[in-house]
Structures are given as C-alpha cells and as structure tokens.
Structure 1
Amino acid sequence: MALPLAVTGQDVIGQARTGTGKTYAFGIPMLQRIGKPRKNRKKPRGLVVVPTRELALQVTEDLITAGGKLGSRVLSVYGGRAYEPQIEALKLGVDVIVGTPGRLLDLVKQKHLDLGQIQMLVLDEADRMLDLGFLPDIERIIKLVPDTRQTMLFSATMPGEIVALSRRYLNRPTHVRAENHDVEAEATPQTTQYVWRVHRMDKIEILARLLQCEGRGLTMVFCETKRACDMVSEQLQDRGFASAAVHGDLGQGQREQALRAFRNGKVDVLVATDVAARGIDIDDVTHVVNYDCPQDEKAYVHRIGRTGRAGRTGVAVTFVEWEELTRWKLINGALNLSFTEPEETYSTSPHIYSELGIPEGTKGVLPHAKRSRAGLAAEEIEDLGETGRVRSRGRRDRDRDEERRRERPARTRQRRRTRGGRDPEETMTAETPAVTVPEEPAEPVPTAEPPATPPVSEAPARPRRVRGRLKGLNPEVSLDAFEAPAPASMTASDIDAEAPAYIQPTIEEAGGQMDTRPRPEPERIVPPNPFTVIFQSPDLATDDDDIAPSAASERAQQRRRPARSRGPRRN
C-alpha cells in the first residue's frame, strides 16, 4: 500500500506489524528515485536514520540486496567503529547513508558529510526516534537537509502523540496502516503467548527448564538491565546452555560477535536488553522470553515481534513478579489481552510441562549429551578499530584474566634496603670496616699495607692529630701520618679518650690497629607489627632530682599555710 505513494514522492507514515517487510517499503522507492550511481556524484541523495547500531547493519544489508542490480552505493555509519573507513567511503562517494544520529552529527561537524543534496529522508522506528531521547538530534538533522524533500516514517507502533509530532516535519502526509485495527490493540496472531506470575528466585530455574522444551530453536531472552543480562547469561552457561549477552555496555565488536554467533547457530540463547528488540530480523527464532516485565505495551509488542515473523509461528513467555502486577495490568488493558490475572507458576508446576511440551523429569541443567553448540568462543571478534574500550562480559572473562595473570612468571628481582650501599645487618655486625678511598678515573689510588701492631714500650712519640676525614684528603697524601706509634705510657683507651669525637673514626679507619675492640651493638627495638612507630627519648632525670608535686598536693599545701596577720584597722 505504501509503495505507490512513496514512488510518486508523497510523504508517508507507515505502520505495520513486525516482520511484514517495512524496510523494502521505503528502500525500493528510495533506490528507484536515486537511480544508478554516477562517478561525478559524491554526495548522498538518500538518508535513513535508525535508533540502534544493529538495526543500521540490518537495513544496510537489505538495501544492498535490493539495489544489487543497480549497483547503488550504500554506507552504514554508527558509533563504536573507527572513523577512517567511513571517511574514506564518503570521499569515494555514496548514494544512500544509513546511520545513527550521533555518528551522523559527528561526521557533519567534522565536515566529512554533506547532507545538502538529500532528496529522501526516512525515520525507521519513528516512535523511538521522536521520543525525548532522540528528538533534539533528529531536529538538528532535519535542519541540515533541504526543505524540498520527501520524508517517510515507519514503525510497528505509532501512538497518537507521535503522529501529531511528526506532522511538524512532513508535508501533507498519508497515514498507511497494513491492518484494519491498531497494532497497539492487537498482538501478533502467529505468536502463542503465555503470561505467568513467578517468584524472582525461581525465574532462572523455570527458564532453564523452558529451554529444554520440544521443538525449540533459537531463543531470545529480554532483560530490563545490563547487569541482569550478564547474570542470566552466566547462569545459563553454568547450566550447560550456549548463551551470549548483548547490551550497551559491550563493545561494538563483542555485540556483533554475539549476533553472528546467534545467526550462525553457535549460540542458541541470546540474552539482550531492548537494544535488540527493535527491527532485528533473525530466522528460526522460535521462542521469546520476557525475563523481566516490559515497561509499556510498545516494548512488549516489539519484544514478542522477534518471533512469528514472515508467516512463521512462535512462542512468547512473559514472567511477571508480584510487584510488577500493576504494570502488567496496564499493558494487558492497552493490548486487550486475556491475562488480567497471570497464573501463579513455579518450576515444579505441572502446567509448564504440558503447555510448552517439556519432557517429564526435566531438571534445570542441560544434559551433557545435548550440549552440541560450539558456543560464543567459536566466533572470532572482528577488529573494528573501536573508538571506545572493550568491556568485559562478566565473571567468566574476569576469571580468565585472573588465570592469565597467574600463569605469568614470578618476579625474581628482590629489592633490599641498604645503608650507604651496604646491608644494614652487615654494618651492625662488622667489627672494623676496611679503609675506603674515593676512586679517581685518571690516577689509581696507591694502596698501603697495614702496619704491624706497635709495641706499647716503644717510641714515646705522640700521634699527630689529623684535621679532617680520610675521604676529604688528597689521594696523593701518604698514610704515614696515621702510622705513628703510640708512646709507652699511653694505651689505646687513653688515645681514644683524648682524641676528639670527629677524629676517632678516622684513626680507626686509617689502620684498624689503634682500637681493635668490637663496637657495642646498639639495642634494637622490635615493634609488635611493621606499621607501629616507636619513639625512644633519652632519660634526663637523675637520682638527686625531686619529684614534681601534683596540682592536688599544691592546693592542699596552700590550704595548710597560715593566713597572714593584718594590722589594726584605722578609723
């Protein structure tokens, strides 16, 4: 119905059930109006704006398939990929651009993309594009395209307020519906729906048994949050199922890896947020499970629309917790469903076995004989030159990184604290240090043999004092000044007592013969733990010092003192 109007150049608001081919409804007229590509034509003539990256890839593939005979140049631009390949493709020239609002505005700001020759503008999933999240970006894009253009809006759900808002950007549009009733008031007839009231702690057990029903193919599980996606995917993997997660916290390469593995059959359970609920067309999706209750009726229609597409049949199961009953009643009333009071269900309830065809005796763990899927690891991650960091998928990736760190060889280098280039323990226990003379690169230092210990009864000459340390002397100075024998009347202790403190180390280092007694080792203080700091102050008190009185004793002494007598008062 929309093709004749779109080919003639009229503005169209298209509304049809999911899986009915809305992409070709605007893709074929766009390719026909643009015509065959020309070498001198570099700027794009058609623009398709989509809300998600996965939908951009899918629309691009459909347009390439539709325009295969024409040779139309179609380019998809979205975030998460490197800018360089997209910029090179724009320089070579394109006919149709399919992209997300953020990357389109970035390329326009960098002056790599010119939207001044756009003849046809399409907003896919228009109800999502015109909400409060994307509306500012959409308004900026509309200002960049010419006023004389053809604009088309397509979506499975088109609320009245979105239709009223869209008339601001369209010129006398024609609202085309593929059915007699609103899609919002009619669910997908090819999909069998089940709504159960479940407990939060029992949902994963029910899901594990549901995934073992007869005739199940690919299955999509929708969660409300990104963390819930990771949690459900990890628990399913622990139970033996080949599952993968898709949400906004993953890198673009990881998201495309999961979708490729799901399409190729290496993974049969895809756990995702609503990012995969819009427009994703994957064959052989037989079951859809709403692990968390949808936020509104539009989200419910788009979620269960991933199955029962193109005339096929499917099964949709929705879990509703006790605190979500009010929200579900609003969804049930808006869609005129017959699940006002969902049936209370547990993993041991008999009706889940009979309604879904689950074999009797099935448990929540997949038997080893049925684990035939290759898994997500069998699909390689494509190097996309991602602009952002690659996020971790969860606990399994963290455990794998931890194992890799454990496999690394241990560090063999040991750092040891030294004092002056020597071990402090050796310094404390050494009896007498050796003579050290600073090295000179030009001239070697002359070495002298240590003299023999002179007898006490020989030469009465007094040793000459040396002002300064050996390290500060000229290397050419002979060491004879330190070899003078001590007088007979003096002992080594007398020399030590008479020599100043700053000369004492020099005399001992000079020959090591003046005082051979071992130095006393200072007392060591061992703290109870290495983080305790102990300060030891010297005791300056002597035995003759009086003990200072306390404040109480001073006050008592003042009270015992007699009062000073006063003279007679004078009149």
Structure 2
Amino acid sequence: MAFTDLNISKQILDALAEAGFEEPTPIQREAFPVIRSGKDMIGIARTGTGKTLAYLIPILMKLHYAQGKYPRAIVIVPTRELVVQVCESVELLTEYMDIRCVGIYGGTNIRTQQNAVYEGVDLLVATPGRFMDIYMNGMLRTPLVKTVVVDEADRLMDLGFMPQLRSILEVIPEKHQTLLFSATFSTAVTALASEFMVAPVKVEVAPQATPVDTVLQLRYDVPNIMTKINLLKLLLADKEEYSRVMVFTESKKNADRITDKLADYWKDELSVIHSNKAQNTRLNALRAFREGRSRIMIASDVAARGIDIQDVSHVVNFDIPALPEEYVHRIGRTARAGKEGVAISLVSPKEEERIEMIEQLIGQKIELQALPERLEISDVLLDEEKIQTANIIYQKGRPKGGGAFHARSAKNSKSPEKKKKSSF
C-alpha cells in the first residue's frame, strides 16, 4: 500500500514524496481511518513506527488552511525536544499548505512564546507545564479546539504530568476528539484513557514493549563504571562500524563523566544532552547529531523517547535502566524505518537483576559477548559504586528471619564480592 491509496490530500502527498516517504507504516494505515471518523483512539505502537505522522496527517487535513487566532488542534508531549521534533514534522508536511504551527515549552523566554500564540495558531504543540503557564497568563484561548493528542502518554505518566493533563483537558471544550499514543498500555495509561476518553477505539500494531526484529541485541558483563568507559573507548575507535552512536545513561553525572573521558579522543565528534543543559545547548547538540556533524551522542533518558534520527548505527546502554520498558524505548532509536541496527548493553554485577527483568519483558535472552582481549579491566570504584557495593554485600549477608547482623554474618558476607570479582 502506498500513501496515494489512503485518500490523502495532494498537498500532503507532494510533501511526503519530496521528503522521500513512499509507504505508510502499519500504525499509519490503521490510525488514519479511525482519526478521520472523529472517534477517540488509543494507538499502541513501539518506537520508530511512525506514530507522529499517524496523527499529524489526518489532523492537518482537517485543519486544511490557516484561519482565526485560536488553536483548533493541540498536541501534548513530555519534553522540549519532542515539541521541536513534532513542529519539524509539521513543517515537512505543510510545505504546500498554509498552516500555522507553534511549539511552546519550558526553559526559554515565555514572552516570545506568548506573542507567537497570540498572533494566531492552528496547531499548538506543547509540554503540559508551559501550556498551563501561558493559559493562566490569559494569552491562550481554547474554545475552537476539536482535537487533542496526548503523545508518549506512558512517558507523561512516568514524569508525573497527570495533574497538568487534567487541568488542560478541563479547559478544552467538552466536545472534542482525544487521541492517545503510547509505546505501552500500562496501568497508568489505562487510567488516563478511562478518565478522559469516550468509547475509544484501540489500535495496536505490535505486541507491547517488544523491540523491532532488526535490532541485534548484545551485552557485555563488566565489573564497574571505569571498565565500562574503557570498553566504550575500544568500541568507538572503529569509526566505520560505529558511524552514528547514541550512548544512554541513567544519570546526568555519568553523561558528563563519559563526555569528559571521551573528549580526549573525539572532542569534535561528541554531543551531550540531559536536563541540566541549557535549552539551546540541547537543541544544538541534537541538530549536530541529526545532521552528522557529531558521531556520538551521550544522553540521559530525556532523549530516549520519540527522538527521530535516521541511520543510528548503534545504541549503547551504558547504564541499564531501572524500568524495563525504558530499554525498549532506548533501543528503538536504531533500526528505524525497517533498517538494521545494534543495541549494546554494558552490565555491571549490580545491574544483573535489571537485565533479567528486561529479558523477561521482551521474551528473549540478550546475547552475551566475550570481553575484548585488549580491554583494560579497572579496579577503581567510584564513590557511588562503593556505597552500592557495600549495600549489596550487607543485603546478601543479612541473616534470614531478621536476626542480628553479627560478626560471623559480616565475615561471610564478603564471599559474594570475592566471587563476583573472580568472574571478571
């Protein structure tokens, strides 16, 4: 099936053809007719399957052309980066249309965004907090809103945006269409749907929380953070193989730590993005990576959701995420649009339980790789690792049944540490 078979307007078809899009993805084929019918819809599809265009194309066809001052459609997303990306997708699709799209998000001048909204907007893309800020300032009116999209709903729930979503939907006209898109149909997303949607049609094009088949998943077992950094250096040295790499961490501290260690080798090839970085810095880093001016992006999980960058050769999980679903979102940055990719996880002893939970979620074992012979195994433990190791030893040495932690138990508790060290 081609886009021409889906009764899409000529203006959008021309824009799609110019951008190189030929065939709709499964979520797009399934979602288009439901959205056009005016019914509420829940779209469940893994990352990299084209969810953004699945709702933008029918919405833009409904908007048709610019009119009035107030928004007629609203898209709510969890992060500033996603606001920018959705707006870029709108710009691509409206090459031959007159549609005003405004993106609003925190971390930047609110007056500039208020002025843009006040001048007139057809499609508003927003993070929840900034939407309510501008609404409460009296610069945003919603009486004409006919369609509300809640994108990356599971991520919005994870970040605690439920109160803001309630506030937003309270100021939207009662008669409107709600479209909810999510990679997973979690309990929180189910609660969101039941509270705000009317008899929604559920469109699910793949099993929940499953990675695409074209991602080769590998793991290396390593003893500590410094050894992880040494291994990362070895892997990234092959520039031909590791041509465009996203390295994910759980903490901003590790993101900066990796950047500092790799800067001696590839300073001009590095981008870093996390919530402590200024907004312009984050957007410039993302742009440099997307345009190929940087080869390596180091990111906290803020970049794991929805960021659409083509031809990412490898995703490296420097830290294993605490939430198994986050693993699926991370590795969804590679092997997009039917292409192949590689996902590599660097697993420390304390992360073994996390990787087991991930394997249980995805229903498969992640292939273990032998450590390279040239890898330097570090015996340096950082401060946070010392605390974590002490906690692991204490928990393993605690007598069952809540008895006193006496000297013999403390002595025995050292054996797990020795055993783990001997395995590397």
Q: With the length of structure 2 as denominator, give the TM-score of the two structures.
A: 0.78
Residue 263 (structure 2) aligns with? 237
Alpha-carbon distance, 1:35 to partner = 2.4
Given candidates 292, 305, 326, the residue that maps to 1:299 is: 326
AA aligned to 2:279 is Q
8 Å CA contact retained: 1:202, 1:346: no
5+ residue gaps in structure 2? Answer: 1-29, 378-424
Aligned to 1:207: 232
- 1:198 touches 1:345 (CA, 8 Å); kept in 2? no
Q: 1:6 aligns with which of 16, 35, 46?
A: 35
| 1:147 to partner: Cα distance | 1.1
Residue equivalent to 1:22: 51
Cα 1:132–1:85 change in 2 (3 A) is: closer
**CA apart distance, 1:112:** 0.6
Among 228, 232, 248, the residue aligned to 2:254: 228
In structure 1, what is the Cα distance between the partners aligned to 2:184 and 2:237?
33
Distance 1:131 1:226, change over 3 A: closer
Structure 2 residue corresponding to 1:37, chosen from 31, 46, 66: 66
Partner residue in 1 for 2:102: 75
* 2:393 aligned residue: none
1:144 partner letter:
V
Matched, 1:197 2:204: no
Match of 1:169 in 2: 196
Tell me the equivalent position of 1:563. Answer: none
CA distance in 1, matches of 2:334, 2:89: 19
CA distance in 2, matches of 1:261, 1:63: 21
Q: Paired residue for 2:282?
A: 255
In 1, are the aligned partners of 2:311 and 2:336 still within 8 Å (CA)?
no
Secondary structure of 1:31's partner? helix
SS in 2 for 1:105: helix
Equivalent of residue 244 in structure 2, options 218, 230, 235: 218
CA positional deviation for 1:264: 2.2
Amino acid at match of 2:47: T
Evaluate the alpha carbon distance shift between residue 132 and residue 230 of structure 1 in structure 2; reply closer, same or farther with a 3 A threshold.
closer
Q: 1: distance between equivalents of 2:343 and 2:373? A: 20
Give CA-to-partner distance per residue, 1:352-410, whole Å, 9 cap, x none: xxxxxxxxxxx99xxxxxxxxxxxxxxxxxxxxxxxxxxxxxxxxxxxxxxxxxxxxxx
Asked if the contact 1:202–1:347 (Cα under 8 Å) also holds between the matched residues in 2, the reply is: no
1:78-110 deviations in whole A, cap 9, x for unaligned?
112212322222222100100101111110111
Write 1 or 2 for the structure with the bigger share of helix: 2
Which has the higher Rg, Structure 1 or Structure 2? 1
Give the match for residue 99 of structure 1: 126
Aligned length: 345
SS of the residue corresponding to residue 43 of structure 2 reads strand
Q: Find the residue that maps to 1:256 and give its secondary structure.
A: helix
User: How many angstroms apart in 2 are the aligned matches of 1:297 and 1:71?
Assistant: 42
1:451-530 → structure 2 map (5 Å cutoff): none
TM norm structure 1: 0.58
Match of 2:312 in 1: 285
Aligned with 1:56: secondary structure? Answer: helix
Q: Distance in 1 between matches of 2:48 and 2:222?
A: 30
CA contact (8 A) 1:15 1:155 kept: yes
Could you say what secondary structure the match of 2:173 adopts?
Answer: coil
Q: Using CA pairs below 8 Å that are at least 6 residues apart, which structure has the higher relative contact order? A: 2
Shift of 1:300: 0.3
Residue in structure 2 matching 1:178, options 192, 205, 230: 205
Instruction: Check whether the contact 2:56–2:90 (CA below 8 A) recurs between aligned residues.
Output: yes
Q: How far did residue 211 of structure 1 move?
A: 1.1
- Given that 1:199 and 1:346 are in contact with CA atoms closer than 8 Å, whether structure 2 keeps it comes out as no
State percent identity of aligned pairs: 39
| Secondary structure of 1:239's aligned partner | helix
Q: Judge conservation of contact 1:11–1:172 (CA < 8 Å) in 2.
A: yes
**SS of aligned partner of 1:217:** coil
C-alpha contact 1:130 1:138 (8 A) present in aligned 2: no
How much does 1:195 deviate?
1.6
Deviation at 1:346, TM superposition (A): 3.7
Q: Distance in 1 between matches of 2:159 and 2:256?
A: 28
* CA–CA separation in structure 2 for the residues paired with 1:325 and 1:90: 49
User: Letter of the aligned partner of 1:212 in structure 2?
Assistant: A
Unaligned runs of 5+ in 1: 351-362, 365-571
Q: Give 1:128 shift.
A: 1.4
RMSD after superposition = 1.8
TM superposition shift of 1:240: 3.2
| Structure 1 letter corresponding to 2:49 | T
- Give the 5 Å matches for 1:281-360: 281-339=308-366, 343=368, 345-348=370-373
SS of equivalent to 1:94 = coil
- Equivalent residue number for residue 505 of structure 1: none
Return the alpha-carbon distance in structure 1 between the equivalents of residues 158 and 344 of structure 2.
28
In structure 2, do the counterparts of structure 1 residues 263 and 17 end up closer, same or farther at CA, with 3 Å as the change threshold?
same
SS of the aligned residue for 2:316 comes to strand
Q: Which amino acid aligns with 1:101?
A: P
Contact 1:53 1:79 in 2 (8 A): yes
How far is 1:344 from its partner? 7.3
**Once the two structures are superposed, what CA deviation does each residue of 1:470-490 show, in whole Å capped at 9, x if it has no partner?**
xxxxxxxxxxxxxxxxxxxxx
Structure 2 SS opposite 1:151: strand
SS at match of 2:216: strand
Distance 1:56 1:161 in 2: 22
Match of 2:3 in 1: none
